[in-house]
Structure 1
Amino acid sequence: MKRWDLHVHTTASDGMMTPEDVVYLAREAGLSGIALTDHDTVEGVERAKAEGEKRGIDVIAGVEVSTLANGQDIHVLGYFMDVHDSRLLSRLKGQREVRQKRNGLVVERLRQLGVDIRLEEVLAKKREDGTNVGRPHIAEVLIEKGVVNSMDEAFDRFLGKDGKAYVTTPRLTPKDAIGLIREAGGVPVLAHPGLYGDDWLVCRLAESGLAGIEVRHPDHDQEMEQRYRDIAAKHQLIGTAGSDFHGERHGSMYHAPLGTCTVEGSVVEQLQNRRKPT
Structure 2
Amino acid sequence: MSFFTFFKKNRPFFILTIGFLLWLGFLIVLSILNLREVVFLDGLASNPATNVSSDYASHHSFLRYLVEPFAGIAFIIGMEFYWLIAAIIFYIIYRLIYLIFKKIGKIRSQKYKRLMYPIDNFMRFTFKIFSATILIVGMIILIGYISLGYYFVSRHFMVIIQIGVRICSLILIIKIAYILIIFIHPKLNLHYPVKNKRSLFKKNSLRFKFSKTLKRELIYIVGTVYILLGANILLISTPYPTHIIETDLEEDEFLIDFHVHSTMSDGWLTPEQRVAWYIEQGISGAFFSDHDNIRGALAARKYVETNNLDFMVFVSLEWTDAITKVHMNIYGLEEEIVAPISENPTGNSLALNASDMIKYVKSKGGYVIVNHYNYYPNLSGSFGVPYTLEQLRDWGVDGFEIINGDHMQEQEIRQFSLDNNLICIGASDTHTSEEINAFVRLTLDDPTNKSVDNIFKNLRNNTHSVIMVNLYSNIIKFPGEFDDIGFEILEDFINYIFNLSSFQALSWILWSCLGFILFFLAYMKIKNTDLELIERKIKIK
Give the TM interval when normalised to the shorter protein: 0.5 to 0.7
Deviation for aligned residue 1:184? 4.2
Aligned ranges 1:130-209 → 2 under 5 Å: 172-194=352-374, 198-199=383-384, 201-209=388-396
Aligned ranges 1:1-278 → 2 under 5 Å: 1=249, 2-53=254-305, 54-67=308-321, 72-81=324-333, 83=334, 88-89=335-336, 91-92=337-338, 96-97=342-343, 172-194=352-374, 198-199=383-384, 201-218=388-405, 220-221=407-408, 224-247=409-432, 257=434, 259-266=436-443, 269-272=454-457
| Structure-2 residue corresponding to 1:113 | none
Which amino acid in structure 1 is aligned with residue 273 of structure 2? D
Deviation track 1:116-163 (CA, whole Å, cap 9, x = no partner) reads xxxxxxxxxxxxxxxxxxxxxxxxxxxxxxxxxxxxxxxxxxxxxxxx
Deviation for aligned residue 1:93? 9.2
* d(CA) in 2 for partners of 1:76, 1:265: 21
Whether contact under 8 Å (1:76, 1:177) holds in the other structure is no
- 3-state SS in 2 of match to 1:179: helix
Whether contact under 8 Å (1:67, 1:172) holds in the other structure is no
Count of paired positions: 186
Deviation for aligned residue 1:51? 2.4
* d(CA) in 2 for partners of 1:258, 1:177: 32
The gaps in structure 1 that reach 5 residues or longer are 99-170, 249-256
Deviation for aligned residue 1:50? 2.2
Q: Which has the higher helix share?
A: 2
| Structure-1 residue corresponding to 2:222 | none
Deviation for aligned residue 1:203? 2.8
Structure showing greater radius of gyration is 2
Deviation for aligned residue 1:258? 5.2
Deviation track 1:25-84 (CA, whole Å, cap 9, x = no partner) reads 10011100111000010112221112234221111110000137xx62111111121x1x
TM-score of the superposition, structure 1-length normalised? 0.58
TM-score of the superposition, structure 2-length normalised? 0.31
Whether contact under 8 Å (1:218, 1:260) holds in the other structure is yes
Q: CA RMSD in A?
A: 3.0
The gaps in structure 2 that reach 5 residues or longer are 1-248, 345-350, 378-382, 445-451, 461-541
Whether contact under 8 Å (1:65, 1:76) holds in the other structure is yes
* d(CA) in 1 for partners of 2:435, 2:331: 18
* d(CA) in 2 for partners of 1:31, 1:38: 19
- 3-state SS in 2 of match to 1:16: coil
- 3-state SS in 2 of match to 1:44: helix
* d(CA) in 2 for partners of 1:274, 1:36: 18
